[in-house]
Amino acid sequence: MKERIGFIGVGAMGSGMAGNLCAKGWPVTVLAHRNRAPVEKLLAAGASEATTPRELALASDVVILCVTGSDQVQQVLNGTDGIIAAGKPLFLIDCSTSNPSVTTKLAEELAASQITLIDAPLARTPKEAAEGKLDVMVGGSAADVARARPILEAFAARIVPTGPVGSGHTMKLLNNFVSMGYSAIYSEALMLGAKAGLTPQVFDSVLRGSRMDCGFYQAFFDFVLNRNENAQRFAMVNALKDMSYLSSFALASGAINPINAAVRNSFATAVAAGRGNAFVPALSDVIAAANGVTLVEAADAAD
């Protein structure tokens, strides 16, 4: 018999994940969300709805969190209407991109309330979430990962155990550090090229198909060249959040972390400029504008 799943966070990623759980026969309860469209779609697919995290927890054996980060995780856990207030044993799967040090501390604290926490952050995009083809990094004991695996397989094509609780969130931050680092490098390179009269098309004609080409590059440049706003749906405010978590982790580890400081500042520049809700490839426009050039005109001139 399938366990009852509570799902909190049916946004761009979570709605596809919860939809796959419903389609594959898991009993799903979702938390009321300010955007009613995905909730109504899930209700039509057989899900139930709870009005508070406590109510959702009472109706569930397993609760999946797909919220922004550690602050939001703690908000749904605590308070009179929080998950902990349900006062029952639960298996909690945190698919958010959270601060690893907060995750490990939470796991210890929640154990006293008979709540088992594992971290299972995600890679790829809302498209793969809807298709059931996400990558998931899982931190937890072998027994807990085994319990989670059938659930995760409903929306994931690849599940990678990373070690103890917190290691999944650490690996996710490292994954994002690499991808956001590429974003910052692409953006500065494009800006310098524009200053030298090199269009984004010329830049792309050299890198595309070379050893520097990859799926991330192609998504980034789908925005740069084609102005596809949805090529990479990850907001720059969340990139800044993740790079800030990585800075915190590096500080706690006593590590020298200069490259992340530079990457973080690139996204801090974008957020300070009021572009935080724009998606990551728009960093290229922010860096160009800060240096008195534009990539749009350069691209238009090449057409």
Tens digit of each residue's pLDDT (9 = 90 or more) over 216-253: 999 999 999 999 999 999 999 999 999 999 999 999 89
- Give the strand pairing for 122-123 and 134-139: antiparallel
Q: Is the pLDDT of residue 303 over 60?
A: no
Given this model, what pLDDT does residue 301 score?
Answer: 54
Q: How far apart are CA 303 and CA 284, in angstroms?
A: 19
User: Average pLDDT over the chain, rounded to whole?
Assistant: 96
Report the candidate in 239, 224, 221, 121 with the shortest Cα–Cα distance to residue 177: 239
Given this model, what pLDDT does residue 302 score?
Answer: 54
Whether 172 is catalytic: yes
Q: Is the pLDDT of residue 297 over 90?
A: no
Mean pLDDT across 197-201: 97
0.95 cut: is pTM over it? no
Mean pLDDT across 96-117: 96
Residues of the chain with CATH 3.40.50.720: 5-164
Mean pLDDT across 118-145: 96
Domain boundaries 170-302, corresponding CATH code: 1.10.1040.10
- The superfamily (CATH) of domain 5-164 is NAD(P)-binding Rossmann-like Domain (3.40.50.720)
Residues of the chain with CATH 1.10.1040.10: 170-302
Q: How far apart are CA 215 and CA 41, in angstroms?
A: 30
Q: How far apart are CA 54 and CA 57, in angstroms?
A: 5
Assigned token pair, 232: 């990479």
Selected catalytic residue, list 88, 172, 195, 241: 172
Mean pLDDT across 89-95: 98
Other Cβ atoms within 10 Å of 211 Cβ, number: 6
Given this model, what pLDDT does residue 32 score?
Answer: 85
Read off the pLDDT band of 187 (50, 70, 90): very high
Given this model, what pLDDT does residue 2 score?
Answer: 94
Q: Cite the DSSP H helix spans in 63-160.
A: 70-77, 100-111, 126-131, 142-152
Q: Is the pLDDT of residue 80 over 70?
A: yes
Read off the pLDDT band of 35 (50, 70, 90): confident
Q: How far apart are CA 50 and CA 58, in angstroms?
A: 10
Helix (H, G, I), strand (E, B) or coil at 97: coil
Read off the pLDDT band of 1 (50, 70, 90): confident
Q: Could you tell me the CA-to-CA distances from 52 to 18, 46, 58, 98, 254 in Å, in that order?
A: 17, 19, 10, 22, 40
